[in-house]
Homo-oligomer: A and B are copies of this chain.
């Protein structure tokens, strides 16, 4: 991402110092899965003293603009995904790590949803052992 400020403005987000730092990290071209905590730790290493409240605010602001996906993998924390394409995941509980599955996968044999309900999206989570 060359012009982060422009990118933020395009998405109706004021390019504040904190948002620029966070966006520069998140949208550096490498897809990431972050939690508020892992992001905070990364920012601390970068000597960016951004409060947890702002980290939560920013993740949600980016989510609301469609720049991040929210992943509900477990009940311990919320993951945010910089890959906003429809895709699936490997999940290692042991490592608390997610790995994108970007290749085409097809789920066969889904029954009809209940009356008046429409399928919104299909999420496949492949749990890893080791």
Contact = CB atoms under 8 A, between A and B. Distances in A.
Interface of A: 72-78, 90, 92, 99, 101, 103-111, 113-114, 116-130
How many subunits of this chain does the assembly comprise? Answer: 2
16 contacts: A72-B72, A75-B75, A75-B77, A92-B117, A105-B109, A106-B107, A106-B109, A108-B108, A116-B130, A117-B129, A119-B129, A120-B128, A122-B124, A122-B127, A123-B125, A123-B126
A126 B110 contact: yes
Contacts of A101: 110-111
A126 B130 contact: no
Contacts of A121: 126-127
